[in-house]
């Protein structure tokens, strides 16, 4: 049995893409060119952060993450994030308050936290962190929505559908309001704009006519219909 990676680990740029990227880098590094192109340094910084977040979301989407003891990969990701960073997306830290006065043996406490998938050492801190964007959460949510709703065309109706389902899932998990709002657009971007996991499987759709002719690649005229 042979296993194949679902997506390439790095994006290979064509010669023309590399030329364009070099021109873009030149503009980003020159304040004079930025002024001539009517672009501010603030927007350039925002663009750089957006590029980094999108790259980290793609990297997280390539991870073969499981559910653990949780209902779905999103719930598992919130616990992993809390255990690894202490950033609490879903009020996991409230377990400390909920268990005040409850007595258990060491073995019972270990079993309790193991079942929840929570690191009890993180509960000892009451520090409130500033709101952050967590690529792992956005990636797991995008994958969950794609797995549930399938591939959708980027039209207004489908965007409203995905947005409503995202809000329903997030509220059902008691994700903090600030985290729901701050991750919302990144999740929508990933659902409709990220083709990382489809890219290899859809290679034939991007082949030039001469390659389709040379390798006898058939064309499937499949168009979804509604009536």
pLDDT digits (tens, 9 = 90+) for 165-182: 999 999 999 999 999 999
pLDDT at 176: 93
CA separation for the pair 150, 211 (Å, rounded)? 29
Instruction: Give the best-scoring range by mean pLDDT among 69-78, 94-103, 186-195.
Output: 186-195
3-class SS letters over the chain: CCCCCCCCCCCCCCHHHHHHHHHHHHHHHCHHHHHHCCCCHHHHHHHHHHHHHHHHHHHHHCCCCCCCCCCCHHHHHHHHHHHHHCCCCCCHHHHHHHCCCCCCCHHHHHHHHHHHCCCHHHHHCCCCCCCCCCHHHHHHHHHHHHHHHCCCCCCHHHHHHHHHHHHHHHHHCCCCHHHHHHHHHHHHHHHHHCCCCCCCCCHHHHCCHHHHHHCCCCCCCCCCCCC
**Mean pLDDT value across residues 68-93:** 83
User: Using an 8 Å Cβ cutoff, are 113 and 119 in contact?
Assistant: yes
More confidently predicted of 8 and 76: 76
Q: Is the pLDDT of residue 186 over 80?
A: yes
If you search the block for the tokens 């207004």, which residue do you land on? Answer: 156
Q: What global pTM score does this model have?
A: 0.81
Degrees to nearest 5, angle at CA 56 with 81 and 58 = 110
Which residues have C-beta within 8 Å of that of residue 158, sequence separation ≥ 6?
152, 192
């Amino acid at each position: 049995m042979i296993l194949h990676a679902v997506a390439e680990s790095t994006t290979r740029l064509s010669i023309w893409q590399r030329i364009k990227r070099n021109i873009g880098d030149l503009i980003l590094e020159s304040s004079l060119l930025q002024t001539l192109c009517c672009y501010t340094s603030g927007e350039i910084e925002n663009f750089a952060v957006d590029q980094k977040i999108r790259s980290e979301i793609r990297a997280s989407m390539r991870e073969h993450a499981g559910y653990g003891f949780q209902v779905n990969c999103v719930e598992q990701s919130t616990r992993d994030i809390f255990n690894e960073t202490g950033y609490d997306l879903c009020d996991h830290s409230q377990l400390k308050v909920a268990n005040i006065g409850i007595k258990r043996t060491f073995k019972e406490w270990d079993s309790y936290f193991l079942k929840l998938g929570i690191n009890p050492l993180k509960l000892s801190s009451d520090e409130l962190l500033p709101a952050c964007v967590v690529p792992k959460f956005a990636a797991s949510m995008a994958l969950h929505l794609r797995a549930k709703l399938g591939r959708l065309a980027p039209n207004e109706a489908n965007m409203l559908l995905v947005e409503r389902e995202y809000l329903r899932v997030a509220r059902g998990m008691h994700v903090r309001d600030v985290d729901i709002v701050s991750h919302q657009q990144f999740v929508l971007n990933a659902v409709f704009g990220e083709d990382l996991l489809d890219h290899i499987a859809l290679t034939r759709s991007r082949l030039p006519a001469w390659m389709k002719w040379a390798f006898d690649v058939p064309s499937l005229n499949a168009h979804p219909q509604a009536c």
